[in-house]
Structure formats: C-alpha cells, structure tokens
Amino acid sequence: MTTLPHHTEKKLGLVIDLDICVGCHACAVSCKEWNTGAYGAPLSDLHAYGADPSGTWLNRVHSYEVKPKEGPAQLIHFPRSCLHCEDAPCVTVCPTGASYKRTEDGIVLVDEDKCMGCGLCAWACPYGARELDGAVGVMKKCTLCVDRIYNDNIPEEDRVPSCVRTCPANARHFGDFADPESDVSIMVAKRGGYDLMPEQKTKPVNKYLPPRPKTQGATANAEYAMPAAETVQPGGLLGWLDKALAVID
C-alpha cells in the first residue's frame, strides 16, 4: 500500500463560496476542456450523443433546495471534486503506488502508468471524487491543474486551476492553506469555512464557505405560500449538507 508524507511544505487547495456559486457549471466545463486537451490522457466520453451517454468529469456541480431555521428556502449549488485530503484514504489503499500525495505542495495525483484500474481508491474516497475512465481503464481525479499552476509559459494570472480562472461569479479561490496569511486562509477564518464531512477524519484541504441566510421578500404574501413539503431525512452527502445548513442563523 502507498504511504502518505508526514508533512507537506504547502497545502494547496480551493475555497468554494457556496453563497455566490450560481450553479452555471462553467467550472465543470472548463475543467473538462482543459484536462481533455492538456494534462495526461484525455477525459473520455462514451456514446456522448447516444441513448446511454457516460463520461469522465473531475468536477461536478449538484444543486439542492434547503430550508434554513429561519427565512425562505434556498437553492444551494454545491461543486464537488477531489479535496486533496491530508489523510487521504485513496492513497493508502492503492496497491500499486499509483495514487500518491506530493510532499512539496500536498496535491494528490494518480500515476496513470502504475494504475491498474482496480477501483479501490474510489471505494475508499468518502466524497465520490474518483472517476474510472472506461476508455483507458485508469482512475482519474482533480489535479488542481498542476500543469497550469507551475507553467511559466502562460501569463501569471492564468497560473491557477482552470475552474478558478473560469468562474464568472468569483466563487472559487486557490491558494496555500499552510500560510495563515494567504487569501484562502483569511477567507476561511473570516467566514467560518468548514470541511466537507469532517466526521470522516480525512482532513480535506479544500474548504467551503457557508451560504448566508436570505431574508423573506418584503412583498411576500403568506396567502400564496406553498404548502410545507413532507419531511425527509436525507443521508450521505445530502444529509451532511442538510445538517450544515440547518445551523445558519
């Protein structure tokens, strides 16, 4: 099995602001385009225009309607990709050493020449962030666009992950969490950024900023309010999101 480094010089990762993400999927599309035409082997699409399309996406956006303690229901757009965990279970279960965490920056990567497509990393990841590329038979995941952030051949402002550069709402931010004075560290401290599913004890590097509560519109009329939906207790990722949003004041 693969071992994790005891310490990384940097902790590069993302801050995603759930308050201003508009669910446009620009980050997912940009990620797909960049990683298909740049780093590593292309991200395959199988029967893209057929009755049963499937494909490899390293970044996905889910949308949920939630009801805080007070105020109207909110539509929350929730981007999901690899969190580059400090205690990454996808790395420690890998039997070939294909999955590994870099000492210099903490990025979790896959050596596709070593990967045999066994899928153990996907089973171990509690966030569903691993993708099996059926066309080439190897596991793939977010690389934080490692081929962009160190690329001296592109303008400095482009040396960030493609999803960050593309986001039209400026909901995604990239930086070093090991530096308490970095922009991402300051954002997390000021806005109460949190881990996704901290009970898994994976210590994800990526953080989420909570959505701010919305107030009821001044012209809202209770006479036309929709009836309350039946209460359902969701589980898994949706259950965590429901609990997290329930504490919004």
Cα-Cα-Cα-Cα torsion 103, 106, 112, 114, nearest 10 degrees, comes to: 40
Using one digit for the tens of pLDDT, what is the confidence trace for 165-211?
Answer: 999 999 999 999 999 999 999 999 999 999 999 999 999 999 999 98
Q: pLDDT band at 218, cuts 50/70/90? A: very low
| Domain residue limits at 143 | 12-213+235-246
Locate tokens 């385009």: which residue? 33
- pLDDT band at residue 49 using 50, 70 and 90 as cut-offs: confident
Domain harbouring 43, CATH code? 3.30.70.20
Structure tokens at 49: 């225009």
Q: Are 109 and 121 in contact (CB under 8 A)?
A: no
Q: Where are the beta strands (DSSP E) in 23-161?
A: 45-46, 54-55, 60-66, 74-80, 99-101, 108-110, 131-133, 138-140
What is the model's pLDDT at position 244? 65
Beta strands in the chain (DSSP E): 12-17, 45-46, 54-55, 60-66, 74-80, 99-101, 108-110, 131-133, 138-140, 172-176, 207-209
The token duo for 201 is: 């004890």
pLDDT of residue 178: 97
* 46 within a domain of the structure (yes/no): yes
| pLDDT score of 246 | 63
Please state the domain count of the chain.
1
Residue 184 is assigned to a structural domain of this protein: yes
Domain for residue 225, yes or no?
Answer: no
Position 220 in a domain: no
